[in-house]
Amino acid sequence: NAGVMQNPRHLVRRRGQEARLRCSPMKGHSHVYWYRQLPEEGLKFMVYLQKENIIDESGMPKERFSAEFPKEGPSILRIQQVVRGDSAAYFCASSPSETGGYGYTFGSGTRLTVV
Amino acid sequence: KNQVEQSPQSLIILEGKNCTLQCNYTVSPFSNLRWYKQDTGRGPVSLTIMTFSENTKSNGRYTATLDADTKQSSLHITASQLSDSASYICVVSGGGSARQLTFGSGTQLTVLP
């Protein structure tokens, strides 16, 4: 079991470009959560998805950010027209069910740097 | 507003020594409290999970305590090893879902030989 896989591990984008972050959940997990960690701060919830559905996006910025979890393939967090303030570590976690709170596992994160 | 405050922000100890990390929270409702270890460049890994009725829980050299009345928790590490160098994050859950987690900003522990 490879665990939660995130790629790329590091991503550098110039201001105005698009960033695409990928998360493949653990085998058998159909629930994915995305978090953002700014320097010196704790992880902050962004969005919760099940296969083909966004369940809760209350933590997502209203503009430029979107997420999807298609029937096939990884979950994608997309940031359009990146700005310096988007520089952060982005983590995803997966679980077998929403209330499987004891069973969710984090990936190693994608570190986005906007130059 | 739900908050989790951790202290100290950073800590340096010598290998073999013990240390205690603190966590205060104002999260409501309360479901459980977790301590995670986050190595540099990695995702958080769960060390302990405690519910309202549990006062202490151990995982090897890690012992967590919880006082639900004062809303305080501590993580005690005994006989520290170099591999214990990491950020230790206190996380409070308001329910069973991972979207109901409130994360502290962590204590950065450095163990020196």
Q: For B93-110, how does the pLDDT look when each residue is reduced to its tens digit (9 = 90+)?
A: 887 677 788 899 999 999
Mean pLDDT of chain A: 91
Interface probe for B, chosen from A4, A106, A111 (most Cβ of B below 10 Å), is A106
Sign of CA dihedral A86, B45, B48, B107: negative
pLDDT at residue B93, as a whole number: 87
Q: Do B43 and A100 make contact, defined as CB atoms within 8 angstroms?
A: no
A81-115 in b/e burial notation, b at 16+ Cβ within 10 A?
ebeeebbbbbbbbbbeebeebebbbbbbbbbbebe
pLDDT at residue A39, as a whole number: 83
Using a CB–CB cutoff of 8 Å, tell me whether A100 touches chain B: yes
Q: Do B105 and A41 make contact, defined as CB atoms within 8 angstroms?
A: yes
Interface probe for A, chosen from B5, B99, B100, B108 (most Cβ of A below 10 Å), is B99
Q: Do B97 and A45 make contact, defined as CB atoms within 8 angstroms?
A: no
Of B53 and A24, the one with more pLDDT: A24
Q: Do A101 and B104 make contact, defined as CB atoms within 8 angstroms?
A: no
pLDDT at residue A101, as a whole number: 53
Mean pLDDT of chain B: 93
Question: Which residues of chain B are within 8 Å of residue A59 when distances are taken between CB atoms?
Answer: 99
Residues 6 or more apart whose CB falls under 8 angstroms from that of A63 comprise: none
Long-range contacts, A74-77 (Cβ 8 Å, 24+): A74/A5, A74/A22, A74/A23, A74/A24, A74/A25, A75/A22, A75/A23, A75/A24, A75/A25, A75/A32, A75/A34, A75/A49, A76/A20, A76/A21, A76/A22, A76/A23, A77/A20, A77/A21, A77/A23, A77/A34, A77/A46, A77/A47
pLDDT at residue A13, as a whole number: 98
Report the DSSP pairing between strands B10-14 and B107-112.
parallel
